[in-house]
Structure 1
Amino acid sequence: MKKPIAYNPEKLLYKPIFTKDELAYLEALNSVSKSEYLLSPRNIQSFSISFAHTSAVLEGNTYSAVEAELLLTLGQTGAHRQLSEALMLKTMQSSFNYIVEESQHSKTDARRPLSYIVKNAHAMVSEGILNQQYCGTARNEPVLITATDYIPSDIPQQLEDGLQIIETEYDSIKNTFEKAVYIHQNLSYLQYFYDHNKRTARNMCAYTLLADNKMPVMFTERSTEEYARAVISYYESEPADYSAFKDYFIASYERVCSRMNAFAVEQAHALVFSTNQDINL
């Protein structure tokens, strides 16, 4: 029998995630992704649908991409689908649209506190799904996480302290890609909310990139198991090890940067190599 793995607040302290070469490659990918066109009304609507769908599939949603588009554009529910699945897609899109608005607000006004954005993003993704008392508030009871021996804290004050640590560390990180992976992994690890922690973490990961005018990452439905393994690997690592998730992140970023430029990966590699950086990915 494996020994249970207790919550460790020291894991929330930031440590570098990517190598210099990996960061150069991610920057190159973004530079050729045509992300400057993402916020046009047509493009951001399409992206929000895909983001909601891929995020929902990671939670077991059975809607196809076409069914998700019909639901979120025309209000047509999928044949023989549960209403809870339709609600999941709608709340995920609403929460994504919220973080898009927040990311743009941060460019013209002082950014609202990270914890405020996190709690609002969670409340929106949980609306109508969780009991209202659980939306955007700290958990006050234990939770089980399947497929792992990790046991999150169930002490409300420890959860509040953990969210504060995350906010402080996040604000201190200079590189946007580092911040994006840091916030995703540590919100997932803390399990601050009763449920929907990873959904919120994915939104905050996207928020971080959007706030710096970068293409937001989308975790594809084609690798649901890979995503789960990469998240759980971090839960169970001691000391904190981001390696499995950062590899998954890079692969996901390649896919999303190819959505508006089919040659993004080839061009990014060429761009990196042209600056004489020896990169191994």
Structure 2
Amino acid sequence: MAKRELYDSILNYLAEQRDAGDHPVSRADIATALGESPSTVLRYLARLKADGKVEQSGSTSASRWGLPAQKVAPKPTEVAQDGLAGVIVPTASPSWSGPSQELFAVLESPLGVRKPVTYQRSFVDAYKPNQTFLLPESLANDLFKEGRMQGQQPAGTYARNVIAPLLIDLSFSSSRLEGNRYTRLDTEVLFRSGNANPQDKDAIMLLNHKRAIEFLIDEVPLYGLTVMVVRNIHTLLMQGLLHDENALGAIRQKIVNISNTVYVPAHMPSLLEEMLGIIVAKARDIKNPVEAAFFLWLNLAYLQPFEDGNKRTSRLAANIPLLMYNCAPLSFLDVTDEDYSRAKIGVYERLDTSVAADLFAWTYRRSIEKYAVQIQAAGLPDLFRAVHRDAINELVSRIVRDRHPLGQAVAEFHLSPQDAERLIETVKGDIARLGEHNFARYRLTLRELTRWVEAGRPLSE
């Protein structure tokens, strides 16, 4: 049994035993029911326990295992943050709306009583960019305001400024949702080494995520949102993980089945290719990048255009509009397997986006909160330059216009030795960058600059 399947099968078995009144159970019971060795089951139970999915009573081989009591998280509240009233502070777990709670009740029904469904292209065809919305329009607008970088910057500026934590966060979080066994610390160590055992599929998965994210940051500002970009993301994510290398980035030719749902994806290659093009085109037309990200995240996973790796492709592709509009990236911080699965199955089986919207808003606000700190740290103004701005401008002017020696001119400001040394280095940097594009800031004329350049750009200490 595959790793992801066994993880889910244990949870399903425990749920069945709870419903039947035989709860909790021993690992031997689980192993017998699932046809796995007790040692394998114990390893997965340990992972489920670490994820908070199961509870253990006792600490010996006679331990009993069961599902924890379900808890409903409190709703987020508007509080003052950094002196700004009305900023939403993310809670420790998603806050589920009324429609989400109703959807949970439907999805808790046994698979046997849920009606099998297949792909409904009307979910995309009926969507009109900027007229209809998958996220509540007011929520999409609020998230855009909260997450965007201020000022006019080249596309990708935000992502490049937070690339170090983003590579870890998104790679780790996305891989973890695929059942990856690596911890966050393991991921950091792996990325520093850059090498993986070819037999270690979890390490390959993480390194593939890293390369795909780097591709997003480097190439998306050049190419934008296109089918080519989405297919290359899939190629980078799945390299070394598919039995058939010809399936990398290729439209699926095979039937796929998804565990724990009655949803059966469409399997006509012509339809998959057509709908992929329509999804990308509509996402490109959406003006609000947060709505576009949500639209891509849901629809790429719902379509299942590739043989495998559709969900992880949808997670990275959702970042394309955010990157293009310099919004905080979406790294799916702290999302659990259970919440993620319920969000997707709600769309697969019911075309209901309520759980997905609640989860998306919650985890995106966590990303916004984290990366805003990174941006603030990276973007602090040079206080020394701000304090000594007039002195810097005057010194550059006197050197160019009057050929004053730099050290002698700085001495006239009676600074401490440390500040004087820093001022000299700052002025030298400005002198090195001085040209026709910026001479006016130093109160120089073009004629004065030209004479200085023709004299060989003299700078005496």
If the TM-score is normalised by the length of the shorter chain, which range does it land in?
0.7 to 0.9
Q: CA, structure 1 residues 157+148, in 2 after alignment: closer, same or farther (shift >3 Å)?
A: same
> Residue 204 of structure 1 aligns with which residue?
317
- After TM superposition, the runs of 4+ consecutive aligned structure 1 residues lying more than 4 A away are 31-38
- Give 1:1-281 correspondences, 5 Å limit: 1=112, 2-13=114-125, 14=127, 15-31=132-148, 38-40=159-161, 43-75=162-194, 83-106=200-223, 111=224, 114-130=226-242, 131-237=244-350, 240-261=351-372
Structure 1 position 29, deviation (Å) = 2.1
CA offset at residue 32 of structure 1?
A: 7.6
Paired letter, 1:132: E
Q: 1:186 to 1:129 in 2, by over 3 A?
A: same
Distance 1:222 1:174, change over 3 A: closer
Alignment-derived partner of residue 274 in structure 1: none
Give the Å deviation of 1:184: 0.9
**Residue 52 of structure 1: how far off its partner (Å):** 0.5
Q: Following the alignment from structure 1 to structure 2, what is the Cα–Cα distance between the partners of residues 207 and 187?
A: 13
Whichever residue aligns with residue 144 of structure 2, its letter is E
The separation in 1 between residues aligned to 2:226 and 2:185, in whole angstroms, is 34
**Following the alignment from structure 1 to structure 2, what is the Cα–Cα distance between the partners of residues 31 and 6?**
37
Larger radius of gyration: 2
**Distance (whole Å) between structure 2 residues aligned to residue 169 and residue 206 of structure 1:** 15
Q: Name the residue aligned to 1:269.
A: none
Secondary structure of the corresponding residue to residue 271 of structure 2: helix
Greater RCO between the two (CA within 8 Å, min separation 6)? 1
Distance (whole Å) between structure 2 residues aligned to residue 44 and residue 234 of structure 1: 31
Aligned-partner Cα distance in 1 for 2:281–2:355 = 24
TM-score, reference length from structure 1: 0.82
CA RMSD of aligned residues (A): 2.5
Unaligned runs of 5+ in 1: 265-281
C-alpha spacing 1:172/1:31, structure 2 compared with 1 (3 Å): closer
Q: Which runs of 5+ in 2 are unaligned?
A: 1-111, 376-461
Residue correspondences, number? 253
Q: 1:64 to 1:187 in 2, by over 3 A?
A: same
Contact 1:58–1:221 (CA under 8 A) maintained in structure 2: no
Aligned sequence identity (%): 30
| Distance apart, 1:88 and its partner CA | 0.4
What amino acid does structure 2 have at the position aligned with 1:54?
Answer: S
Bigger drift between 156-165 and 143-152 goes to: 156-165
Q: Is the 8 A contact 1:220 1:252 kept in 2?
A: yes
Letter in 1 for 2:361: I
With over 3 angstroms needed to count, the CA separation of the structure-2 counterparts of 1:172 and 1:207, relative to structure 1, is closer
Distance in 2 (alpha carbons) for counterparts of 1:233 and 1:259: 28
Shift of 1:129: 0.9
Contact 1:67 1:77 in 2 (8 A): no
Shift in CA distance, 62/33, structure 1 to aligned 2, threshold 3 Å: farther
